[in-house]
Chain A
Amino acid sequence: MTQLIEPPQVDPQPAEPPPALIELVDVSRTFDSSPPVRALRHVDLRVERGEYVGVVGPSGSGKSTFLNVVGLLDRPTAGSYLLDGDDAAGLSERERAALRAARIGFIFQSFHLLPQRSALENVMFGALYQGVPRRRRRQRALESLERVGVADRASFRPSRLSGGERQRVAIARALSAEPSLLLCDEPTGNLDTANTASILELFDLLLSDGLTIVMITHDLDVARHTHRRVSIIDGRLTEMPAAVDAMGSPTWST
């Protein structure tokens, strides 16, 4: 934090610091049911590029709403959200869709693979709405499958894949869209410990390539794997202490 208020001599762009990838300021999301549900209350969060953030909390605490707001699937009812410097509140649906297509990859607990299509076709699906020519999508899909280690399963349908392989294909789908932010909603929730470990290893690999990952989990073992943890309880987000155990490497303080 102190770096930001240091004299700008060392900064090549002194006028303005590079925007955070995610910047939530006083964000609230209230659902107009009766009684109204306040899923997010006055959330402030800043996530820089390359961070690995775990979001923990009991079910119904607002984790998913948080992820939907960050993923531009939902709009906050109050507060401001800047994604990579763009004010998400001022964006039209078209622009939000374009940002989702270009910047954000989603990973779901239940994988969300299209059952009728092969692994390769599912991965190609990821960049469908980017307007990328089919041949390039195919090329990127093959590279992504290679990257997550299931290139040999390219022609398999999801039903013939193991759970771990399915999640790898789903991750490859997100990667093929070349996002800058990966939003994961309980990515290991349906996986056994061995597969969970290998998926987390894969995330480490992706982080080293510069990707930013925000992951919802209720599994503290999985959360421990992330570099920074926040908890959401009753719609309120709080930063968790870094030194939960030795595995957490507090990169955010550097």
Chain B
Amino acid sequence: MIGTRLFRRRRARRGSRLRLGDLIDEILAGALARPARAVLTTLGTVLGLASLVATLGISRTAGNQIVERFDELSATQVVVRSAGSGGGQGRSGPALPWSVEARLDRLNGVVASGAIADVPNPGQVRTVPVIDPTGENSRTVPVVAASSGVLDAVRGHIAAGRWFDDGHVSRADPVAIVGADLAAELGITRLDLQPGLFIGEQLFTVIGIVDEALRDRGFVGSVIIPSSVAAERFGVNRPERVVIEVDLGAADLIALQAPVALSPNAPENVSAAAPRTSSASRDAVESDVNSLFLLLGLVSLAVGAIGIANVTLVTVMERTGEIGLRRAIGAQRRHIAVQFLGESAAMGLVGGIVGSSIGVVAVVGVSAARDWTPVLEPWLPLAAPIAGAMVGLVAGLYPALRAARMEPVEALRSSL
């Protein structure tokens, strides 16, 4: 008998138990007992988290949009100039050479390189030998001297014909590449007839039309001639700048190496400009947009938390009889606390999921309207529901405590 009693006592010491599945059922039943109220309660959390997700997403998207081109082009570009001034020709002492490809392309990280100089006062550009007083067929347009690697270095694209090569350069062939805009103005549409072009009094053969040059948009409105020809006929002896296309991430290194490679005797006379790091500029853009809306989102989240706390407190008071009943059928105080904490956390979680979804849709919607690429941190839509649940949990702390503290005898006095 004593043994039975001890056994019985030990069994009792385990305390009453609530299975996890039953707890989840009870939490859902409690939270959904008044669906309209649950929806209204979660609204604050929904709004708060939706605005937070939308703010972070849209600012990220906008920031990314602004720096996207920058990233793509500038991060892989290094420009080398003579120190002190933009122009190189006519200067005494060591300066930039034309033969940059041979010096730079062997550097690890260099994709393409080319030297460029503007031809000063080239004279009018015409397609006919006669100087037309009406100016119909003549234009005053920029003429650019370029080395053979320039096309790749500026990410140019040839629409028709070809770019000049090292052979053209070494022979100083009088050939010219015409920008697509200029070609249209001059009426050059086909190259198989080897159309001629006069720059001032000099005759050139047009061998190619360039319709795109991402790093130097001036190309599409210019005439480009080989550097050797420019030196011979226009006296352009030195390039003004060297454009280098580098691998992503190699810009800083190449900016250090290029001056030495180009001007080994006096590297201090040339300066290389590496791009600003993209993350810095992106952060700058984002922080401008963010702070105000983030504050707004946090405020509405706090309001949402207060809403949940308020309603849960009212619910606890209303369900006093139920709390008494639960205690009577064996619930411990912690069971009651977990019940109400669970209910408020569930409301917060649902609010977080809905809010997060609305936020993501808002980001996509704004992006679609602005023709942007939506960019969202992958953790954000996942973190938002967790944040919602945490808000619910914190909001439920006080009401759950009140519920757990109720004396079962008192609680049973109120009806259900």
Contact = CB atoms under 8 A, between A and B. Distances in A.
B9 A86 contact: yes
A73 B16 contact: no
Nearest to B4: A85
A87 to B, nearest CB: 9
A108 B327 CA distance: 14
Interface string B23-47: 0011001000100000000000000
Interface stretch (B86-94, B257-265, B284-292, B318-326): B318-326
A177 interface: yes
A129 B329 contact: yes
Contacts of A86: 5, 8-9, 12
A124 to B, nearest CB: 9
| In the complex, the 5 A-B pairs of residues with the closest C-beta atoms, listed nearest first | A101-B330, A131-B17, A94-B15, A129-B330, A101-B16
Interface residues of B, number: 38
Interface in B53-69: none
A134 B19 contact: yes
A133 to B, nearest CB: 7
B328 A71 contact: yes
Nearest to A17: B1
Given A73-B412, A74-B409, A86-B5, A131 B18 contact: yes
Interface stretch (A110-118, A141-149, A234-242, A244-252): A110-118
A168 interface: no
A115 B416 contact: yes
A130 interface: yes
Contact of B329 (A85, A101, A113, A117): A101
Interface residues of A, number: 43
Interface in A1-26: 13, 15-16, 18
Contacts of B33: 116
A129 B335 contact: yes
B329 A128 contact: yes
Interface of A: 13, 15-16, 18, 68, 71, 73-74, 84-86, 91-95, 97-102, 106, 108, 110, 112-117, 125-134, 173, 177
**Residue picked from B1, B325, B328, most chain A C-beta under 10 Å:** B328
A134 B25 contact: yes
A99 to B, nearest CB: 6
7 contacts: A73-B408, A86-B9, A95-B12, A110-B415, A114-B322, A128-B26, A130-B330
Contacts of B11: 98
Main secondary structure of the interface of B (DSSP, over half): helix
Nearest to A121: B29
Given A106-B329, A113-B416, 8 more contacts: A94-B14, A98-B14, A110-B416, A114-B325, A128-B329, A129-B329, A129-B331, A173-B329
B340 to A, nearest CB: 15
Contact of B17 (A85, A108, A129, A134): A129
Nearest to A87: B9
A97 to B, nearest CB: 4
A106 B328 contact: yes
B22 interface: yes
B30 to A, nearest CB: 9
A172 to B, nearest CB: 13
Contacts of A132: 19
B1 A13 contact: yes
**Residue picked from A86, A94, A132, A134, most chain B C-beta under 10 Å:** A94
B13 interface: yes
A90 B325 CA distance: 24
B333 interface: yes
B332 interface: yes
Contacts of B335: 129
Given A13-B1, A15-B1, A16-B1, A100 B416 contact: no
A84 B329 contact: no
Nearest to B333: A93
B29 A97 contact: no
A127 B19 CA distance: 11
A92 B408 CA distance: 15
Contacts of B324: 112
B16 A97 contact: yes
A97 B330 contact: yes
B187 interface: no
A211 to B, nearest CB: 17
A122 to B, nearest CB: 10
B116 to A, nearest CB: 79
Contacts of B12: 86, 91, 95, 98-99, 102
A112 B15 contact: no
Contacts of A95: 12-13, 15
Nearest to A71: B328
B370 to A, nearest CB: 47
B35 to A, nearest CB: 10
